[in-house]
Structure 1
Amino acid sequence: MIRIRSLKNGFRRAGMAHTVEPREYADDFFSEKQVEALLAENMLVVDLIEGGTAESESEPENKSPEQPKATGGTGYPALSISTQLVRAILQLDQDKENAKHWTKSGVPQIDALEEISGLKDISAADRDTAYEIYLEGKK
C-alpha cells in the first residue's frame, strides 16, 4: 500500500492532485516511474506500507495491463533526504520552546532530526532545505 500526504493541498504529481489529508492507494495503482516521481517529490510525504490493503482509491482508468515490478530492499527506490527530513520535522514537538527539538533561531535541531530519521551526518544545508519545504507546505 502507498500512503500519500501533500504538504500543500492540491499539489499535483503522477497525474493527480494530492491533499494534506493522507490517502491510501493499492501497490499497483501507480506505475514504477510514477512511484519514483512521488518518492522523489519534496512536497509529498509518501509512505510505503508492506502488506497493507488500500481501500480509499480505485484502480486508475489508464493503467496498463501489467505494471513493471520495482526491485530492491523494499521494492521501491530510496526516499530523498529532503523527504526523510520533512517527515522527521513533522514528528518534532511543535512547541519551539523544546530545546531538544528546536534551535534558539527556531529551526530544527540536527541531533533531533538524526534521531527521528535514522540518518547520520545531516548537514545544516540539508536541514534548512527540508525546513523551507516544510514551511512552504504550511502556507
Structure 2
Amino acid sequence: MQVEVNGVKHDIALHGIQTHIIDFTLSRMTKGKVSLFQDLSNDPDLFKGDSSIDYQFEIYRMIKKELSNDWSQFKPKTNIFWIHYLLDKFIFHVSYKYKRSKLHSNSLKLLKTLHRTVLNYDSCLNFYTSSSLFKNE
C-alpha cells in the first residue's frame, strides 16, 4: 500500500492483513467546517469502568483528560491512546498459534517496544515520522 506523508510517498507492506472499522458509535469526524461527535461528558458512567477488566475504560479517562472533557475538539494524542490500547490487546489478550517461532518472538518484541514508546508521541504522524522503528535503513 502506498501512502503520502508530508508530501513524501511511502510503501507499506501489509503482509495480507486487512482491517475494518466496525463501530463509529463514540467517534468524531470533521468535514469542512462541520464536526460530528458524541458528547461523552453527558455519560459519566463511561468513565467509571474498571480498567482491570478492560483497558478501554482507562483510555476513555485519558482522552477525557486530554480533551478537558470537551468532546467537540480534535486532539491527535487521542489516536495514540487507541494505538496503545490495540498494542495492549495484541500483546496480552490474543492467543497466538505459533508462539515458539522466531517470527512470533521477533514480532512480539517489536509490539512490546511499540507499547513501551508510543505514549511518548503527540500524534500518529509524529510517531510514524520520528520513531526509528519506521525507518527503512
TM-score normalized by structure 2?
0.28
> Based on CA coordinates, which of the two structures has the bigger radius of gyration?
2
Structure (1 or 2) with the greater helix fraction: 2
TM-score normalized by structure 1?
0.28
